Amino acid sequence: MIARNALPLLRAALLLACATLALRLSAADSPRMARSLDDDWRFKLGALPEATAPGYDDSSWQRVDVPHDYVLEGTFDQKPRFTYPGMPDGWHWLHGFLSIQPAVYRKALDIPAESKGKRLWLEFDGVFNNSRYWLNGKEIGAQYSGYTRSRFDITDTARFGAPNVLVVQVDPRYDGWWYEGGGIYRHVRLVTVEPVHLAPDGVFVAPSVADPGDGLNADAAIAVRTQVSNTSSASASVGVTSEILDAAGQVVGQAASVSELGIASCSNFVQSLPLARATLWSTQKPYLYRLRTTVKASGRVVDQVTTTFGVRHVRFDADRGLFLNGKPLKLQGVNMHQDHAGVGVAMPDRLFTWRLERLKEVGCNAIRLSHNPVTPFLLDECDRLGFLVIAENRHLGDTYIDQTPKETPAVEHRDLTSLVMRDRNHPSIILWSLCNEQWTQGTPEAAAMARAMKERVRELDPTRPTSAAMNGGFDSPVGFLGVLDVIGINYHPDVYDAVHALKPATPMVATEIASEIGTRGIYTTNQWETYYGDRERGYVCAYSITAGPGGQTVEQAWPAVTARDFIAGGFVWAAFDYKGESRPFEWPVVTSHYGFMDLCGFPKDSYYYYKAWWTNEPVLHLFPHWDWPGKEGQEIPVWVHSNCDEVELFLNGASLGKKTVTPLHHLEWKVRYAPGKLVAKGTRKGEHLETSRETTGEPAAIRLVADRSALAADNADLAVVNVEVIDAQGRTVPTAGNRITFSVEGPGKLIGVGNGDPSCHEPDKGPGRSAFNGLAQALVQTTHAPGEIVLRAESANLKSASVTLRSR
């Protein structure tokens, strides 16, 4: 008999075994090989042009694995250590007070002798930024964008059966107005294919559904366009077979085509596969199919790839919003950057999954990927977990300037093309956003650029509409409004009705809402200018009473979206805090306050506002904490976020009154402080709920809580370990700031620490971190070796704690 608590581990092991077997079978069927190059790079700060020479001695350099963000390893400074010609005013504080400078990566690369005669290319998913690449002393390419995938053919430069030296130089300049890090911060791989092969991004799967029926199953037509390249010295008779596999791996559709392919040529194969009673992909049931594409030349299999896709019916209605599979759906969305405490922009894959799981819990069903192409894994997880996505291009037109001048051409569409071709098979993506907040958005020049970009998108993907995030030009018929398929509005709920009246046939979506500012666990209500909190330390009170410039509080932003059927939904700025853009304070603040979760993913109080109105779960959230020594007898504002029908508040057993919940709004009492227990009792559809806040004792111990304990020994998997400072009764002390030191035993490594404090200048890389309002976080990553990993946490005068993880 298997113990009940062992079943989840057994299921995980079986799933891992099945996935490994599937990968082995795929590798056996296909001559294509994709080899990760993430491990074992050499790194050094500085421009170092001499380091491009193959024989350069890098033995003293730092050894790193990628993804890697080296800017995060620097020191917070009020003034920049390095400046650049043309560096805009305020750039340093907007980027989180971390100075940047050029750097170099080097890697020894062995390429087997049996690869000779095949095609080889290097793929970099993202390097920030202004990067140049050398192999064996020869420059093989460059890429300014920090977000576009780079691909370099090294067939004629590589040494087969001999050592190769790969060098990457980066120089992260000001490509934005928030912290964007620096370095090889996404995955790298070497791809090897036969001379006749599928072109990069050469498979496009476009499902269509005429009638979504019951919204669960419908007949579909799967249009497939496949591009095959012949780089051999002879023409070839090429056959392409496309097979649709369901979630169980059964073939449920198939088509085959044959064509003669000349020397140094490409050919497009166009096929259509009927799929009867297809299971539809949705946010609640994100069912995925796979398309297996097999290429044969002269009767021999020369290439094979598998592409994941989903079948769904998406329709934007100008009066009634979004319909998914024939059913109306309000987009309960968020914006987020790629940045987490401890690792910066170099987020391991598992951390993306962890964040998406937190968003599912709050009821989020959509993400705007602001303001750039993201790592491919994030989109894979949006497909798997059921998030709708607005995929966003970085710049308007052919430029790398944040605000595009009117005379900018829009001809090359280099980054836009890369974005659409790479990501067009993801069922999660429902909109292509051309750009964000351009000052020229109401002009005919900007409209001409947007029109050209829209035409390019339609050439590559005719199945999805285009949008752009506007923060002005709302009354201009010659600007973006006359071009976009779906109008995106950032903030400005005051213009929703006017824009709808001006463009009644064009759907609308609120691409950014709120920008509420708040610091987790801070309830000081001292006022300066239009803000409340602690100006000296740079904290803003967590009551929903403060928003950034042009923004609104949650209770101003979300109700304006829900009240209008013609608004397809809203995307909160933001889900998580992020480094940089530390408005309104500048120094000493080094991160933003915009998230309803902090940089570690710890919820702020506004998180529960969204959970109350985005989910059907009973929510009764009471705040603030109840530790206010020295304020006895003073009035404390007590708030409740709840979707109950009514809530009654008690202090030390005495009722302070019952209040009826107004939908989309909080409840509030003024309570004279007395130590003890504050209790909220709610009733929802006859169900009784209760929550409380207690005055805690002094910090006495540490508690560690890992999000998971069974990990993969792949040098990439990780556990998110939350750290709590607790009193003798096991209650989290909400004001604790104890310094905690970590140590790791076994085949694991501490890759980052954090606490969510926007003014903390302690390093993200190191053995310790102070708690902030009772909480901290440690990220523990596996190595290639299996075994037991133990994380220990210690602090002066506190009982220590440990947590055990197992790597397989």
Q: Which residues are annotated as catalytic?
A: 437, 512
**Residue 496 in 3-state DSSP?**
helix
| Whether 713 contacts 784, CB under 8 Å | yes
In the sheet with 677-684, reading across from the earlier edge strand, the strands are 654-660, 646-651, 677-684, 687-694
DSSP single-letter state for residue 113: G
CA distance 316 to 15: 37
CB 80 within 8 A of CB 63: no
CA distances from 295 to 27, 309, 540, 785 (A): 14, 19, 59, 37
The answer to whether 202 and 423 are in contact (CB under 8 A) is no
CB 170 within 8 A of CB 345: no
SS3 36: strand
Cβ atoms of residues 570 and 558 within 8 Å: yes
Beta-bridged to residue 303, according to DSSP, are 295
H-run or E-run covering 671: strand 667-672
Which tokens go with 88? 């805009």
SS3 512: strand
> Which residues, at least 6 apart from 47, have a Cβ–Cβ distance to it below 8 Å?
102, 104, 169, 171
Angle between helices 376-385 and 349-362 (to 10 degrees): 40
Question: What's phi and psi for 538, nearest 5 deg?
Answer: 80, 30
Structure tokens at 212: 């979504």
Intra-chain end-to-end CA distance of the chain, in Å: 23
Q: For the chain, give the number of residues.
A: 808
Q: How far, in Å, CA of 639 to CA of 544, rounded?
A: 10
Whether 769 contacts 776, CB under 8 Å: yes
Closest CA to 712 of 1, 8, 12, 10: 12
Q: How many angstroms separate the CA atoms of 591 and 580, rounded?
A: 5
Q: Which residue has the tokens 């963000």?
A: 69
589 and 582 Cβ atoms separated by less than 8 Å: yes
Dist. CA 539–CA 597, nearest whole Å: 15
Residue with tokens 């600007």: 479
Please report, as a single letter, which amino acid is at residue 199. Answer: A
Nearest to 702 by CA among 740, 757, 755, 743: 740
Element containing residue 26 per DSSP (H, E): helix 7-29
- Kindly state the helix (H) or strand (E) to which residue 655 belongs, with its residue range: strand 654-660
Report residue 762 as tokens.
């302690």
Two structure tokens written together for 72: 């995060």
Q: Which two tokens stand for residue 591?
A: 């991160």
Angle between helices 606-614 and 554-562 (to 10 degrees): 20
Residue 367, SS3?
strand
Nearest to 188 by CA among 102, 88, 66: 66
Q: How far apart are CA 399 and CA 115, in angstroms?
A: 38
Cα separation of 280 and 218, whole Å?
A: 7
Q: Which two tokens stand for residue 336?
A: 């987020």
Q: Which amino acid is at 305?
A: V
d(CA 92, CA 584): 15
Residue with tokens 């087997």: 112
